[in-house]
Structure 1
Amino acid sequence: MAALSLTHVSISFGARAVLSDICMQIEAGRFVGVLGPNGAGKSTLMRAILGLVRLERGAIQVLGCAATRGNAAIGYVPQTRSAAARQRLRGWDLVASASNGHRWGLPILGKAARRDVGRALDAVGATDLARRPVCELSGGQLQRLLIAQALLGRPRLLLLDEPLISLDPQHQRSVVELVKHVQQETGITVLFSAHDLNPLLGAVDQVLYLGGGRAALGTVEEVITAPVLSRLYGSPIEVLKIEGRIFVLSGRIEVERGAHVHDA
């Protein structure tokens, strides 16, 4: 069974088409890097998979069922996390607060739920962060806790929306290695959006590149090519490979230079 299937999916905001007639299928257990310029629809796609965005046309299936709100089979790490960084909660409380997502405040957990929190913290190597105030943690440590949150309930699909934003290269590597480890240990399917492919090289099984309302899914070698990206961008694109890194250029300007703050 495919983890994710899109059939002729179109999404528009007003007169602007974000995704146009997208058809694709992602097999279970894959680690997929979701790439594309700012505004290409990376966050919109994830929200649509979560059932939070109305489709103009087409259908999305998650693990064989129609995409709907509150799907317990999906774990999600959103792009905006500044509020979490200011919390005086302990790490354990931050993770536990997602156990009953439909309620406000810290939940009173039973034994099974407490075991699940402990399991999720252990899965991301964050047991030592459980007693520390969240506001004292580094960006990389906070990201571990947010991934632990997303792993509560043992989801089968994990969506991470730009988890590398504002992290230095060392912490970016740590987060990518962590997610890859979780994927290999659990067999979970991962969609990991990023503004730059390079931190994901060596971890991804496939890349999903969005641009101009279109999409290309395949291996790095199949998708990150001048012809494919030129089609998506609608203008000539050059792909350079230098010392194990990949650069996507329009003219002489690096298309994805610098992290963006948010996406459509």
Structure 2
Amino acid sequence: MIAELRSASVDPLWHGIDLAVEPGEFIAVLGPNGVGKSTLLGTMMGTRKLTGGSVSVRGRVGFIPQQHMFPKDLPVRGRDLVSLAMGRRARPEDVDKQLASVGAKAFADRRAGLLSGGQQQLIRQAQAFSQDPELLLCDEPLLSLDPGRARDTVQRLHEHPAAVVCVTHSINPVLGVVDRVLYIGPEGHVVGSVGEVMRSDVLSELYGTRVDVVEVDGRMVIL
């Protein structure tokens, strides 16, 4: 076990979450805006306190934060940010390898604030992976990425030996790699496999109103 929440609560957002994250597991965190998905990651990082229960995390943690654009006048390059994340003794060739692993080497010598949103997301990926993490916490890591880059990112997360807890607005991009889903709704939460959670009766109970889950061309749609 790499992380565990027991009867965890952050009132008034959510309460009573029990979740044990196993090494190598991929957990998708879903739910509407405002239910506290990002807050959940904050409790696992130790930047947000619980109001009840407990959380424990073992091992190195990598974090891909929710997208906020770097200031345009930030006087550092993309590679400088990755080098800082790797530590003062990082060798240039190691930084290059890290950048290349996420497809960011071609633009790494540009000022970070002048990069596009998608390019900045790849720099953040390189920073997170540079920690040699055993647990990756990802807050909407696919934002601003084109479909190809998004698929590459999902595959990268899946192939990394770290456990992954990924907040995402849709199950579809990670449908092929996710092991379990934590769905947080206005009326509670549920943890289980995709088949156990992404059902009309389950989500209707979490929302407190009728919700339909349908499959269209291999994609799940919540109505």
- TM-score, normalised relative to structure 1: 0.76
Partners of 2:102 and 2:145 in 1: CA distance: 17
- 2:78 is the alignment partner of 1:91: yes
Partners of 2:32 and 2:140 in 1: CA distance: 12
Contact 1:116 1:153 in 2 (8 A): no
* Deviates further, 159-168 or 31-40: 159-168
Q: Give the CA RMSD over aligned residues.
A: 2.3
Contact 1:85 1:142 in 2 (8 A): no
5 Å-filtered alignment, 1:105-254, equals: 109-110=88-89, 112=90, 117-180=95-158, 184=159, 186-212=160-186, 214-249=188-223
Identity of aligned residues (%): 39
Which runs of 5 or more structure 2 residues have no equivalent in the other structure?
Answer: none
Contact 1:32 1:205 in 2 (8 A): yes
Which runs of 5 or more structure 1 residues have no equivalent in the other structure?
Answer: 64-71, 101-108, 250-264
Counterpart of 1:51 (choices 46, 50, 56) is: 46
For these two proteins, the number of residue pairs brought into alignment is 223
Partners of 1:34 and 1:128 in 2: CA distance: 32
| 1:117 CA drift (Å) | 3.2
| 1:22 CA drift (Å) | 1.0
| 1:208 CA drift (Å) | 1.5
| 1:57 CA drift (Å) | 0.9
SS of residue in 1 equivalent to 2:209? coil
Contact 2:118 2:144 in 1 (8 A): no
| 1:157 CA drift (Å) | 0.6
| 1:179 CA drift (Å) | 2.5
Partners of 2:18 and 2:125 in 1: CA distance: 28
Q: Which residue of 1 aligns with 2:55?
A: 60
Partners of 1:75 and 1:215 in 2: CA distance: 25
Cα distance change, pair 117–3 in 1 and its aligned pair in 2 (3 A): same
Q: Which residue of 2 aligns with 1:76?
A: 63
Partners of 1:148 and 1:142 in 2: CA distance: 10
| 1:40 CA drift (Å) | 1.4
Cα distance change, pair 56–213 in 1 and its aligned pair in 2 (3 A): farther
- TM-score, normalised relative to structure 2: 0.88
Partners of 2:215 and 2:73 in 1: CA distance: 40
Whichever residue aligns with residue 188 of structure 1, its letter is A
Partners of 1:114 and 1:5 in 2: CA distance: 37
